[in-house]
């Protein structure tokens, strides 16, 4: 019998989690089909409606009922950022495994409490960094590890979307200080997760944040001050000796889902753009001079676990498929495979520490150690 699943939240990422739980056994035939026990949401009506749509047996307006339910083994947390800590800690203390969307929490103290609770519980506790699951990112990691581009010496990371680009967009929770610093928590953590798996830790940095719109309209007229920042950038140095640049902007007109990586080494370079997520650009100086240039690697069954979805190259995976892969890696970890490709709460806290170091640097205007 498969693990019992409880899902908190039925919005964008809640639905994504639900699709992953519904699909994981179909895509990866070596796992038992999870039992979708209950869905918790802000109201009982909302929870019941989405439980039916998502395939859960029941819905509840009280998320703590999921924590107390003995039939539930894993809690998926897809609620707003400010609730992550209380939900994850309660679930871990109740002996549940946890799959929590990023960021961990809105304060470093809460993120540390989450990490500590995971350690004490001994349960699996991972974060929703699904971009690291892309078969093309895994291929990039293999190429770097094999020395295909030599010693990495410079990295450029960018993430841009335009859902906050319109100055007339009403104020909502992502613009409130309760959700965190803004682009750093909402965005920067994703390219930082890719940096973590492709290269390693940041040791020092200098950062700045910007607020393109000081106020946003509210229902009924008038406006409300924007309480966090939609743009952030940083220069950094890594433990392995590379220099780097991070730029993130959630008010970038025309950008829809861009995470752009440029990784430069002594013998070549690798380029990736999430908006073209089934492609990887690779340059190696070992090619003959008259044919040197970037070659495009197109996602194919030779790039695991692409073949679990599609038996033919060039057809392409999407965002939701990455979540299915992440769900499979979670199940591997729950099953005792410590080599599962996940970002657990220990590594997640390292990413949170970098985010808070960037905020400190913005305030001080100087380089800081992480």
Give the span between the Cα atoms of 103 and 193, in whole angstroms: 11
Q: Which CATH number fits domain 132-369: 3.30.300.30, 1.20.120.530, 3.30.950.10, 3.30.360.10?
A: 3.30.360.10
Residues 6+ apart with CB under 8 A from 192: 157, 202, 246, 351, 354, 355
All CATH 3.30.360.10 domain ranges of the chain, comma separated, are: 132-369
Determine whether domain 4-130 maps to CATH 3.40.50.720: yes
- Interior/surface letters 136-161, b for 16+ CB within 10 angstroms, e for the rest: bbbbbbebbeeebbbebbebbbbbbb
| Contact between residue 74 and residue 4 where contact means Cβ atoms under 8 Å apart | yes
Strands 279-284 and 295-298: antiparallel
Residue 232 is predicted with a pLDDT of 97
Q: Which of 64, 61, 101, 99 is nearest to 80 (CA)?
A: 101
> What confidence score (pLDDT) does residue 236 get?
98
Q: Could you give the residue range(s) of every CATH 3.40.50.720 domain in the chain?
A: 4-130
pLDDT at 265: 98
Cα-only R_g, the chain: 21
Q: How much is the pLDDT for 186?
A: 87
CA distance 4 to 70: 9
Question: What pLDDT is stored for residue 212 in this prediction?
Answer: 96
pLDDT in tens, the chain (370 residues): 799 999 999 999 999 999 999 999 999 999 999 999 999 999 999 999 999 999 999 999 999 999 999 999 999 999 999 999 999 999 999 999 999 999 999 899 999 999 999 999 999 999 999 999 999 999 999 999 999 999 999 999 999 999 999 999 999 988 998 888 999 988 899 999 999 999 999 999 999 999 999 999 998 899 999 999 999 999 999 999 999 999 999 999 999 999 999 999 999 999 999 999 999 999 999 888 888 999 999 999 999 999 999 999 999 999 999 999 999 999 999 999 989 999 999 999 999 999 999 999 999 999 999 9
8 A C-beta contact, residue 304 and residue 319: no
Would you say the C-alpha torsion 195, 16, 272, 236 has a positive or negative sign? negative
pLDDT at 296: 97
Q: What is the pTM of this model?
A: 0.94
Q: What is the pLDDT at residue 179?
A: 84
**Nearest Cα residue to 191 out of 155, 217, 222, 223:** 155
Q: Residue 111's closest CA among 327, 351, 282?
A: 351
């Amino acid at each position: 019998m498969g693990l019992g699943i409880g899902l908190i939240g039925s919005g964008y990422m809640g639905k994504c989690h639900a699709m992953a739980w519904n699909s994981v056994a179909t895509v990866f035939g070596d796992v038992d089909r999870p039992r979708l026990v209950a869905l918790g949401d802000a109201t009982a009506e909302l929870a019941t409606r989405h439980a039916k749509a998502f395939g859960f047996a029941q819905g509840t307006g009280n998320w703590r009922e999921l924590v107390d339910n003995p039939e539930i083994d894993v809690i998926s947390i897809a609620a707003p950022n400010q609730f992550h800590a209380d939900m994850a800690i309660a679930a871990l203390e109740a002996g549940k495994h946890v799959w929590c969307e990023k960021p961990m929490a809105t304060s470093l103290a809460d993120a540390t409490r989450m990490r500590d609770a995971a350690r004490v519980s001994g349960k699996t506790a991972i974060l929703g960094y699904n971009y690291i699951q892309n078969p093309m990112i895994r291929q990039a990691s293999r190429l770097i590890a094999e020395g295909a581009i030599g010693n990495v010496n410079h990295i450029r990371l960018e993430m841009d979307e335009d859902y906050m680009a319109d100055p007339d967009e009403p104020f909502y929770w992502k613009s409130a200080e309760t959700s965190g610093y803004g682009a750093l928590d909402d965005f920067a953590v994703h390219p930082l997760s890719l940096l973590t798996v492709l290269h390693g830790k940041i040791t020092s940095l200098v950062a700045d944040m910007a607020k393109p719109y000081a106020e946003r309209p509210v229902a009924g007229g008038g406006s409300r001050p924007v309480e966090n920042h939609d743009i952030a950038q940083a220069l950094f140095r890594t433990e392995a000796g590379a220099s780097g640049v991070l730029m993130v902007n959630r008010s970038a007109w025309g950008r829809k889902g861009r995470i752009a990586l440029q990784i430069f080494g002594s013998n070549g370079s690798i380029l990736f753009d999430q908006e073209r997520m089934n492609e990887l650009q690779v340059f190696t100086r070992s090619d003959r001079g008259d044919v040197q240039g970037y070659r495009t690697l197109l996602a194919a069954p030779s790039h695991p676990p692409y073949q679990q979805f599609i038996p033919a190259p060039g057809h392409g995976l999407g965002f939701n498929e990455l979540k299915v892969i992440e769900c499979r890696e979670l199940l591997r970890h729950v099953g005792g495979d410590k080599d599962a490709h996940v970002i657990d709460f220990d590594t997640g806290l390292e990413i949170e520490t970098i985010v808070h170091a960037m905020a400190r640097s913005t305030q001080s205007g100087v380089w800081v150690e992480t």
